[in-house]
Every structure is written in C-alpha cells, then in structure tokens.
Amino acid sequence: MREIPDDPVDRERFEHRLHDGLLAAHETGWGLFGPTSVVWKVNRFASVNILATSIGGHLDVAHPAVAWGVFEHSRIFTNPKERFAQTYLLLSRVAFGTPEQVGRVSSSLYSRHSRIEGITKNAAGKYTEGSRYAANSVDGLLWVHLVYFWSRYLLYEATVESLTKTEWDRYVDESRRFGACFGLPDEGMPSTLDELQVAVSRYISSGDLAMTPAGKEILEYIATLIPRWARPIYYGFVDELLPTQLTALIDISDRGLQRRGIRNGIRILLRAYNRFAPPSVRYVPAFNEANSRITHRPVGPIVRAFNRALCGRAEVLS
C-alpha cells in the first residue's frame, strides 16, 4: 500500500476503476462479493450494519472535506431519515446487488459527488482557509472507505465472534473491489488487516483529520437523533470501541456512560441477539434478499417489513 495524492477522481479514472470492480463482480457470479465472501459474512448482520453506519457518520466528518461536503450539500439537517434511507438503499445495492446494480449505483454516486465542491471557510487539517475541497477527492474517499470496513471489523469482533487473521485479511482484500467502484486506485487501498489498521492510524496521527465547525454542528445534530435515554449507553459503548484519539477528536468521551458493567452488558446482549435471533431480523434485509435470489425463494414478509422500516421500500435489490 502506497500513499496516494489528494486529487479529485476524474471521469476517465473512475470509469477505468469501475470496470475493474465490475470484472470482479461478474467473476463471482452474484455481484462484487457473493455468498462465499467474508464481506457478506460480516455485512449480513443488521446490528453491525446499523451501528457501523451510525459510528461511520461520526467518524466520516472528522475529515474536513467530508464535513464541509455534508454540511453544505447534504439534506442531513432537513431530512435525515430520507438521507439514511438513501444511503442504505445505495450501499446495499453495491454490497449485495447484481453487477448491473453495482454499475448503476456507482455511476450515479460519482456523478452526484462530482457536483459537491466548494471553498473552505476556515483552516482545518491540511486545508488552509479559502482552499478548494471536493467530495470526489481521493483522500476523502479513502477515509470514508477505511471507516466503512474498519468499523464493521471492530463491531463484528465485539458483538458477533472473532475471525481468524486469514479471514480478516480476505475481508480487507475483498474490500478493494468496493473501493474500485468509487474510483479509488488499487495501490492506495489496504489489502490485509494489518495494512487496514496502519492506514487508519496514519490518518489519526497525520494531522489530516480535524474537527471543523461544520463537523461539530453535524455531530451535535446526530446526537439529537438518538433517543435521550439511549445516548449515554450508546456513546459509552462507542467510547470503549474506538481509540482514544478518535473519541477525543469527535468529542464523545464525556457523553458516554462510564459504567463498564453496563457497556459489557450491551455487548453480551448484542452477541446473544446476533446468535439466536431469527435470520429475518438478525441479518440486514438486503442480505436476505440476495440470499433469496440465490436460492430462488420469495422474499418473506418480515424481511419486506424490515426493509420498509429502514428505507420505505419492501425490496431494495429489485
């Protein structure tokens, strides 16, 4: 893994990398990953996906360009439910959809992100005041990519089971197909668990991450979306899960419940849920849809209802 320049992904490079990703998708016969992949094994758990999406929302905006892009161009403040539904819908199609769906979603997201750019109003990280930021910058895309797969690794280990180092290396190597569909160069993405950990640590220690006024406002708003009674439990769990440098950066250390017994109890409850709950609610609906496609069975009513609760649609892969 080599360091990569922080320049926007142009259309030609994006289409070249998407072509690489779609080649891998066609080779599996199912999509980017398929039923034998470690990515499906990890991403199928609903609790892992939902918690990782929430934690990712906090960590993503630690990157100044991501924070400015979300603050100035997103509907997070006006319609957060719709934004979550759209994120779930699009990323589910990339992770569990057919090659055709992967291609359509990736192209749509690239075009949307190409319109998200602006001028910084303050200095943060490596950005000086008045410099240009873009949603399709390689540096910002890579941080979001790392957060997506690293947060799911942490949550799976904490709330499901431990996998072998070999399995986690496969998981990280598979994730490169996902990154390719967003235009990330192959040489810039980690291919092993150790490289993933190093890449995240490099961002933390480099000074490139910084909390902007925009990021702080986003995080304060996200906190209001969590039920008041659940906030200290949630933030206590996250505080224990993440490195102290990150929890300090996103300023959640003082929000969390400090009682270890309760935090351990949450972990035990999640492990029990992820082991004993019926597959229709244990697994994310998009995975159950993909599994129904593979086994040629209809999508069940509970899965359809779960999908509606998450994004307002009975099916997301149709």
- In sign, the C-alpha dihedral spanning 112, 196, 288, 285 is negative
In the chain, how long is the greatest CA-to-CA distance?
56
Q: What is the pLDDT of residues 194-208, one digit of tens each?
A: 999 999 999 999 989
Q: What is the pLDDT of residues 206-220, one digit of tens each?
A: 989 999 999 999 999
**What's the confidence (pLDDT) of residue 257?**
63
- The pTM for the full model equals 0.93
Domain extent for 131: 11-225
pLDDT at 4 over 70: no
pLDDT at 260 over 80: no
**What's the confidence (pLDDT) of residue 7?**
73
For residue 274, tell me if it sits in a domain.
Answer: no
Confidence of residue 101 (pLDDT cuts 50, 70, 90): very high
For residue 58, tell me if it sits in a domain.
Answer: yes
Q: What is the pLDDT of residues 12-54, one digit of tens each?
A: 989 999 998 888 888 877 899 999 999 999 999 999 999 999 9
**What's the confidence (pLDDT) of residue 193?**
98
Q: How many domains, the chain?
A: 1
Q: What is the pLDDT of residues 107-124, one digit of tens each?
A: 999 999 999 999 988 899
Q: How far is CA 93 from CA 4, 81, 86, 103, in A?
A: 28, 18, 11, 10
For residue 85, tell me if it sits in a domain.
Answer: yes
pLDDT at 256 over 70: no
For residue 39, tell me if it sits in a domain.
Answer: yes
For residue 118, tell me if it sits in a domain.
Answer: yes
Per the DSSP assignment, residues forming a β-bridge with 132 are 119
pLDDT at 87 over 80: yes
For residue 317, tell me if it sits in a domain.
Answer: no
Residues 6+ positions from 152 with CB-CB distance below 8 Å: 42, 43, 48, 49, 52
